[in-house]
Structure 1
Amino acid sequence: EFIIESRDIVGNQRVIGDDAFVVEVEGPSKPQVSVQDRDDGTYLVSYNVQRTGTYHVRVSLDGHQIAGSPFTAQFHPGLVMAVRCTGVGRGLTRAYAGENARFTIESRDTHRNKTTSGKKPFVVTIRGILQVQVHALEGDNGEFHYSYRTPRAGVYFVGVLLDGVDIGGSPFKLTVDPGPAHANGCSASGAGITGGYTMVETFFTIYSRDYYGNQRTTGGDVFSVEIGGTASADMRMRDNENGTYSVAYTPMIGGDYFISVMMDGVHIQGSPFNIASDPMPRESYLEMYRSMEPTFKEKMEKMLLGGDVTGVKDRKKANSRRGKEAAQQKSWVLNIKLLDANRLIPKDTTVDGTYGTGLVQSSDPYVVFTMGSESVRSTTVLKDLNPTWNEEMKLPVENRLEKLKVEVMDEDLQDEDDSMGTAQVSLTDLVIGVPKMVTVKLKELNEV
């Protein structure tokens, strides 16, 4: 506010109103101006600016500016208001495990002007899988800088308070992703790193992790796998594009082997792995025999059944009959080890319990294996679309010619359980005593 005093040409103060003063204010914002005639020769001028900076005030009468016009006015920020303060910087919403992440809090007044003087006691906390220590850095011009580092990937929440009140957007949802793959954090598991049978393909899985042991969820990492020892072995590797890599190999000769798994010239955990490839049990050879080409069958008959190859056709008929009878006998037991599943369908929607700021989609999966009238189910993994079981089960088999049905279910406490997809697995190529790794695709391209 300010007051205009009306005077005549020689400077005498007027004592009546009705003078037509025009007031204009120019600057970073365009405020509304009010001129109140007090009817005593004075006029009260008021206006409200919303942006800090330099303004020019022009006062004129009958097209001529009064003495001193234009006037210069400098406006500074008002009082800091918590809900107008803002947080900026990538580290406020995204970071990598082990990274020194940073973000900035901007102190602002009620009109969102950045305050440039004084320090306000912002209270910054980061909570989630771990409670993370936050470091306050030097700041100026209304900007306050902070840094933090956490070794664990996951979801966190960044709370920023001013005088006990959340600033605008607080709490901020922070996602910490796994860092780059590091050999010291990577590992391998599966039957293929403990042993196998000669001329039988066996498998193991490489798990890509960062330096802190966080499981990576994307592919593209470069692993070097070498198999050596008694003889060479055919080997192939597949990137599953979810942080795991499937490796299959076939030892051609029985003996001792080693498997070396390296990244950037450094061995992963446990590498090199020492394994022994043993000859296949006689019963397993008999099972394999049934799927061989005729010329190979004759050689196998001579080795396993004794004698020469005369009367092969008669023995073929007998073996075929015995094979069908064996496939239909009721003494079979299927040993199942359920490992894990990836990218399952979310069936449940719940409210985020930490701050109640959003909805979370998930499922409570378990797996049912069925053959004929027999079935067995796994335990339930709660709220996980990429569950890991590592659970062993036994399923009686009445007829090996039937297919194994695999169904993934979502467990519900109040409603009926929902199916998340099914698949079938043929058992005709299984060999007695020889494990076989199987990956099945459910509907919607989910895997178990």
Structure 2
Amino acid sequence: MARVNLTSPQIPTFRELVRVSARIGCLSFGGPVGQIALMHRELVEERQWVTEDQYLHALNFCHLLPGPEAQQLAIWIGWKLHGLRGGLAAGLLFVIPGALVILALSILYGYAAHLTWFAALFLGIKAAVLAIVVQALLRVAGRALNTGFKRGIALAAFAALFVLNLPFPLVVLTAGAAGTIAAATRPDLLALKQTDKARELAPRPWGASIRAIVVGSLIWVAPMVVVFTTLGPDHVLWQVGAFFSKLAIVTFGGAYAVLAYMAQQAVQGFGWLSAGEMADGLGLAETTPGPLIMVTQYVGYLAAFRAPEPFTPLSAGIIGAALTTWVTFAPCFLWIFALAPWIERLEHAHKLKGGLAAVTAAIVGVIANLSLWFALHVLFKRVGSVKLGALTISAPELASFDWRAAVLGALAAFLIFRRKWNIIRVLALSAAGGLVLGQIA
């Protein structure tokens, strides 16, 4: 392993930054953990472009922001090395390879989903996705739930979503408010570390931040203005853009945190796709480089593909995918360019840290809800609802149990938890198993 330089980072040329950013974008498999580890190896250990301390401070900063933290870290590193153009280059190259791959897979899915062999292939992928989501739940829970107060928040978030059907943004905001109050009154409930208040901080960079917010916001909403003026607010493209713009603001805690809310709204609220197709999309996103939240592009593609007027289905799908990707990732650049100059001050924002710690705890409950939602729709062919007094909760039809999905899910869980296989290998074997068992009625 290369020796890490902790004091004097090397400054690359812009061409070198572009070359290495493209390499990272093409190799960034394995979700945020794998992506963050890849960037650390490439940029800190091997090339020493940023120091260990700078990297860790920036990573903590990105955890405070909505959106995919790995992509935001890439933007910050590019900004640190070559300013605005460096941030744009590093951030775009982190997303573009995966976006192109999942667009191609979405086009294939849109035309081939009705074929028997294709459905059998995705029987195995859906089962593997269930095991992958459970793994994510256990990882996040092990890291985030280190106090009784946090465990209570996680349980309350799960109940609020699964039992009470409360909106995801309301759950996140309530958890954040509780954490802010706890940080001010009882920080021990959140196990917050004390910060050094005596340290002198740099001047507040108001001018640069305001300019970044104004310009970034105009760029973010520009495609939505075009859609509104040409197609109107009732068109599916406006609905897609508005929904994913809202999602970009509340996606704290990573992709898994928001997938349950996105899936339920896309399936039950808008009717853009089925629950099984949503699980298929997550499987596609797991096999491609780039942020897992790229699954939003798949949803946007299918939504527009199935309501294409006045375009052809293929054209509408590509526009829907592009619009979804734009409104999902453009805010990431806005957050970094506006807030990166404040990184040192945000490290000392005690109440903000408390709010985000509580949100992270709530995310465990959110992912638990996602896990149960996927389990019901993967293991059972028909899922309805039952009344429990004033409450309505999802419940499967037991007679619709799919033993093939259960077998493949158990195999995937064994390979992930006991054999420690990586996600790509598990998905490949599960897909092959789906092709075999899919032939059995």
TM range (shorter): under 0.3
TM-score, normalised via structure 1 length = 0.19
Higher RCO, 1 or 2 (CA under 8 Å, sep at least 6)? 2
Q: Over alpha carbons, which structure has the higher Rg?
A: 1
Higher relative helix content: 2
